[in-house]
Structure 1
Amino acid sequence: MVAKVLAAILAGFAIAVPSTFWLLKKVRIKSKIRHFQVSAALGMPVALFIYLLQTSIAVPVVIVTVVFSLLVVALELTLRRIVSSSLSQDTNYGMGKIGSGVSFEEARNAAGAYPDDYMNEAVWLEMQEFMKSRSRQKQKFKSTSSADSPVKSFEMHANITFAGTNYSMVDGIRSTTDARNSRDQPNLFLFGGSTVLCEEVPDRLTNASILQRMLNLLQESVQVFNYGASGATSIDRVQMLLKESKVKKDDIVVFYFGDNDSGWIDHRSGKPSEQLIWLPVRVFRGLSDLGSETAKWMYGELAPRSFRKFSRLAVAETIKALSDAHLYCLSKGAQMVAILQPNLYTLRTKSDYEKKLERRFSQDIRTL
C-alpha cells in the first residue's frame, strides 16, 4: 500500500514538474511560487489517478475522469465565450503589460495626446533603465538587510538613486522640475504609490512637476516634492514621512492612498497578500497564469473569503498610519490632506466600458 502511494506521488510529480517548467516558460513566468503552485495543481491529481489505476476500481476511475474532463473543457469553452463577448472587439487594454513587456511602437501609440517629444525612443530606453536600476537597487538592499526581521520597505525605497537625462531620483525622491528653491518657502510633499511616482513619464511630466508649474503660474512660492514609490502603502509612506522628510511649519503634506492599502501587501511580513490565501486556492491563481478562465473564475470566487480577515486588519492599520501622520504634521505646524485614490469600485456610476472591465478582470479586482 505504502509503496503504491509513494510510487504514484513520485510518478505524478515526475510528470508535473517538467510540465510546469515548460508551460510557465512558455508564458514567461519565472516566479518560484507560481512553479510550486502549478506543480501541486498538476502533480496531486496525476498522483491520485495513477494510484487508483492500481486498484480494483480502475475502470470506473477512468470513466469518471473522462466525464469530468469533458465537463471542465465545456466549462472552459463557455467561460471563454463569455469573456470574449464582455469587451467589444475594438477595445484595447493592456493589463499587466509594463516596461519591457510592451514594444516601443505600442507605447508610442498609447501615448495619445501627450507632447510629441514625450514618447521617443531615447525616453523609452531611459525609462527601461530607470525601472531596471530601481529593481536592482531594491534587490541589493534586500540581500544586505538583516534576515532576522522583515525588510522595511520605506528604507529600501529611500536608498534608490538614479541620474539620467529624463529620469532622476535621489534617495528615493523623484526629481520635480521647475522648482524654485528657497529655504523660506513652504513645501508641498506628495506621498503615494506608483500614481504619484509616475515612472511611465519623464520628470517634467510627473504629477508633481505639472503641479509645480501650475503653482508657479499662480505666483505661489511653493516647492513640490515627489515621495511616490511603486506599490507603496500608506504605512510605508508614513514611515518615510517620519524618518526621511524635512517637514516644517506651513508645509503641506498630501497622502494619495487607497489601492495599495486594500490588500496588496502584508505590511507585517513584507509578502504579497495573496500568499496569505490557503494554498489550494492559490493553485487556481497559478493556473490562471496559463490563461485558464475556469481557474480565474474559481480564484475570484474563493480568494475573497481568505482576504476578509486581512482586509479588516489592513483598514485598521491604514487608518492608524494616517492618524499618526496627521499628529506628526500638527506637531510640526504643517497641514495634511488625505485623498482616497479613485478606482473602478469607488465610482458611483460606471460607463459601459468600466462595467465590462469590472466583469473581465473581477478575478483580480474582487480580491482587493
Structure 2
Amino acid sequence: MALLHPFISLLLLAAPLCGAANQSPLPPGSLPVSPPLPLLQALQVRAPGSRGWRAGPVGGQPLRYMLNLYRRAADREGRPRRGRSLATNTVRLVRASSHGGQPWAGRWYLQPLTYHLEGQPEAEHLLRATVVYLPSLPLAHGRLLCALELAASSEAPRVLLSPATRPSRGWTEADVTPYLVPGNGSVRSLALRHICVRAGRAGDSDATLAPSHPFLLLYLNDTQAGLAPPAAEPFRHRRDTGTLAHDLPGYLRDQGGEKSDCSLRPFPVSFAQLGWDHWIIAPHRYNPRYCKGACPHLLRYDYHAPNHAVVQSFVHQLVDANVPRPSCVPYRYSPISVLMIERNGGILYKEYENMIAESCTCR
C-alpha cells in the first residue's frame, strides 16, 4: 500500500466527515491556458531571419572549435554535463574583420584584425575574454609560426600576447580580459595584429597559404538566461514555426486517451520541424516534457506536494467541489545548452535554466 502524505492523518482526525457539496467543479474554461514553450520564446528573439538565411563564412575552424566546446559541456540532449569547466552560462564567439593590403612580405605574414563589440546585451556581464589562434601550422616544406600583438596607439609600446593555455588540438588561447575592461569605461572594439613567419624551405604551395584568422571568445554571465524575451522585442508568431510551439493544450488533446496518474510525459520538438535547423547547431531536438494526469484524492508522500495542496484536495473531496483539485505540474527542472549562429554571423553557446521538466508534483 502506498504511503499517504503525513499531513493527511491530521486532517482526517480534525475535520468533520462531510459529504461532497452538490456543486460542479469550476468549468475548464476558467483554468489558465498553457503559454508557449519558454525555450522557444527565448530562441525566437535570436532567430537570424528568413528560412533561406545561411551562416556563410561562419563555418570552418571557428564552428568546429565551438562544437568541441559544446560536446565537452553538454550531452546529446543538451543537458549540461556535471563537472564542466566553463564556469559560466554564455560563451560568444566574435569573428575578426581584417583590413590592410597584402599581408605577405617574403617569409613574414602581418594582418591587422579588429573585433567589434558593439551591441552586447546589458544583461551579459563579461567574466573573461580570450583570443583563440593556431601558434603553429604545418606546411608542405616546414611550419608557419604565429603570434598575436596588441595594436596599441603609436605612443604606447606594443604588447605581445602570451598564450594562456597549452595548445589543445593545435589551438591555444591568449587572455585579453584586461584590455576589454579598462576601468569603468566601455570598449567598442579590440585591435590586434596577427604575425606569422615561415620556418623552413618555402614551397610553391606555401607561398599563398594564409592562416585562419584568430577569433575572440567572450565568457559571459547572462543574468536573464531562461527568462521571457525582453518587452522591447516581443515573441513573434512566424509561419515556419507552425502552431506546435503555441498550442500545447491542443497538442496534448490530440495524443489520445489520458492516463490516470499525474506523471511525466515526453513532448519532443525537432528544430528541423520548426525550420530552425539552419541556425541552431546543437542539440537537434528539444524535449521539455510535461506533467499530465489526475492528482490522487489522497496525495502520496512521493508526490512532494505542499501542505496547501493536501488541504485543497481534502476540501474538494469532502467540503466544497467548487474548490478545484490540485493540478499536476512540474516539480524539478534541469537546464538546456544550445549552440547557435547569431544574426551577425557569430556563434553563441548559451545555457537556459529550468527548461526540461524532471519530475511532477500536485499543487
- Normalised by the shorter chain, which TM-score bucket? under 0.3
**Structure with larger RCO (C-alpha < 8 A, sep 6+):** 2
Larger Rg: 2
Q: Normalising by the residue count of structure 2, what TM-score does the alignment of the two structures yield? A: 0.22
